[in-house]
Amino acid sequence: MFDAEAVLAHYQKPVPRYTSYPTAPQFKEGVGAELFNSALANLGSTDPVSAYLHIPFCDRLCWFCGCHTKHTLKYTPIKRYIDFLVEEVNLFARKTTFKPLLGALHLGGGSPSLLKRDDLIRLRHALEGAFDFNIDTEISVEIDPSDVDQQTIDALTEFGLNRASVGVQDFHPDVQSAINRPQSFEITRDVIQQLRKAGVNSINIDALYGLPLQSKERLLRTIDRCVDLEPDRIALFGYAHVPWLKKRNYPATPT
């Protein structure tokens, strides 16, 4: 029998963000080429690996965010970045004597849903030159519903998307205004429906607690509405106030 209290008691502790591996505490002086080459040398030909590709651009900055990203309304710097990302994947391919099995691929950001079809396709081709894909390879992409249309979904599914990580944070308009994240429930619902219609059956929703103007009641209402969307998982993160790291990290407060 499932014991919710026992599970919550066991897992109620701070852990590093699941998208980061090695996690932030492991990055220190001395971590570099030697460790990278050693890890490659010890990689078995049948060992599945996970890859994370960071797309550090957004067309609107959320004020709560502490991620490494940059605001742009032009696509040119994004395309240029993909040029370098493709070359980095190619460099990895030249360092290995075989193609490792890719168990999981995650595109995060920033807003990777900004990528255009041509860049997604050439990125996929580069990845296929470096890794072996199979039917079980999980390909997930972080999605900002306000950026997405049918063309975006078509391009992402052509890339291989089979798990979508949909950003929500909070559905209350006052909270959204305070964090510069306007996004209605209806827009989110419609994008999730389009994803499922396109064959993306694994849906993750990201939400946040501790945001400005966010009460317990507003948070619970957001979670209830997320549950209504029937995702496979809801990832609930705590807001980190780190303006000394990111100057934009200063959500509006009531006057």
SS3 198: coil
pLDDT attached to residue 21: 56
The pLDDT of residue 24 is: 65
Domains of the chain, first to last: 47-238 (3.20.20.70)
CA–CA gap between residue 198 and residue 201 (Å, rounded)? 9
Which residues of the chain have a pLDDT value below 50? 253-255
Per-residue confidence (pLDDT) for residue 254, from 0 to 100 = 43
Which pLDDT score, from 0 to 100, does residue 196 have? Answer: 97
Q: How many CB atoms are located within 10 Å of the residue 37 CB?
A: 11
SS3 69: coil
What is the reported pLDDT for 23?
64
Give the pair of three-digit tokens for residue 151.
């063309």
Q: Are 57 and 78 in contact (CB under 8 A)?
A: yes
Q: Is the distance from CB of 152 to CB of 129 less than 8 angstroms?
A: no
What does the pLDDT look like over 217-228, one tens digit per residue?
999 999 999 999
Task: Tell me the DSSP string of 135-201.
Answer: TT-EEEEEE-GGG--HHHHHHHHHHT--EEEEEEE---HHHHHHHT----HHHHHHHHHHHHHTT--
- pLDDT tens digits for range 8-17: 788 777 666 6
The pLDDT, as a whole number, for residue 109 is 87
Cα(213)–Cα(222) distance, integer angstroms:
13
Q: Can you tell me the distance from the alpha carbon of 57 to that of 111, in angstroms, rounded to the nearest whole number?
A: 6
The pLDDT of residue 1: 64
